[in-house]
Amino acid sequence: FIPSLALAVSKARLTPFTSAAITSVFVSGSKSTFSTARSTKATITMSHLKPSSSTHKDIHRYNEEPNYNEVVIYNSTVYLAGQCTDEPEKDKDVASQTKAILSKIDSMLEAAGSHKSRILAASVWLTDVSKVKEFNGVWSQWLDAKNKPVRATVQAKLVAPEYLVEVQVTAALNPKPRTKPVKTDLAAAAVGPYNQAIITDDGMLFISGCIGLSPKTGDFAGPTVEEQAHQVLANLDAILKAGGGTTKDIIKTTILLDDMSDFVKVNAIYAEYFGPASEAQYPARATFAAKALPKGAKIEIEAIAKVH
């Protein structure tokens, strides 16, 4: 393996939060590749990913920066932005900067639902290609030896002289379970051997029938159908949000009433929950009068949603 010696043509942009963002053109022989490089001084907390706006429902973008996203997930693949050390003033050699970068990549992959053993491809940029042995020493200890990715290594001028190495990886997501339960303390607990909701791999969210129990007290919110209806919808909304959805994602509801004469009262509260008629995207619905509901409830609502 002989790393390519590359010429980097860059244009940097400084911000208070990131040391720079840079678009580079790497030229090697007759081939050119384009790379977006970046480095962040502030430590990135990857305990969760913050969704970014996207016009494509099948492409999920997270942790938005002014000119790029930190993480993009499409189908079963996660793409990470190029990473540099957060503390170049502390990490002054290739080995220490590489350790810091690989630790960040570990955290980002875990947050995205992947692992270093599932990395498909890696790109490495070194300011001095003669330091590749130093880089490889750290890389080899960190790498899953049984699952090595493809890799390209080039010499390049990075965004600032204190940055000696940058690494970007693409990885496959971990295999997901077919379904998983959704639970939240912000809604009343299940009153039987069932889950508050179940979500499937493709985002179908099935919410169990909710009755008007308060999650704080475990008692009904009140004796009237209006009080219970408001609590039912609050419980449903909490479960929906715990599953990653909003009211616009609900595609079907089923309303069970103890007394069908309460239909008009419940219908008004239900319409209010989904918003003004001119703006609301009402889901499909069925309404029934039941002979009896759990715990003597006056109303129960279950829902199905498609979470994007």
How confident is the model over 182-208, as pLDDT tens digits? Answer: 999 999 999 889 999 999 888 899 999
Please give the C-alpha separations between residue 106 and each of 100, 113, 128, 261, in angstroms, as whole numbers: 10, 11, 25, 58
Condensed to tens digits (0 to 9), the pLDDT of residues 150-185 reads 999 999 999 899 999 999 999 999 886 678 899 999
CA contacts within 13 A on the Cβ side of 90: 8
Condensed to tens digits (0 to 9), the pLDDT of residues 17-43 reads 233 333 333 322 222 233 333 433 334
**Residue with more model confidence, 174 or 241:** 241
Strand 4-5 to strand 150-155: parallel, antiparallel, or no bridges (unpaired)?
A: parallel
Q: Whole-angstrom Cα distance, residue 124 to residue 92? A: 18
| Residue 242 pLDDT greater than 90, yes or no | yes
Q: Please state, rounded to an integer, the average pLDDT across all residues of the chain.
A: 83
| Proportion of the chain above pLDDT 70, given as a percent | 82
Listed in sequence order, the residues at least 6 apart from 89 whose beta carbon sits closer than 8 Å to its beta carbon are: 162
Average pLDDT over residues 235-257: 95
Average pLDDT over residues 64-80: 92
Average pLDDT over residues 62-89: 92
The lowest-confidence range among 19-23, 76-80, 126-130, 295-299 is 19-23
Condensed to tens digits (0 to 9), the pLDDT of residues 123-157 reads 999 999 999 999 999 999 999 999 999 999 999 99
Helix locations, the chain, DSSP H: 94-112, 132-142, 225-242, 263-274
pTM: 0.50
pLDDT band at 262 (very low <50, low <70, confident <90, very high): very high
Q: Whole-angstrom Cα distance, residue 235 to residue 244? A: 14
Q: Give the per-residue pLDDT at 308.
A: 76
Listed in sequence order, the residues at least 6 apart from 302 whose beta carbon sits closer than 8 Å to its beta carbon are: 207, 208, 209, 210, 253, 254
> How does DSSP classify residue 180?
E
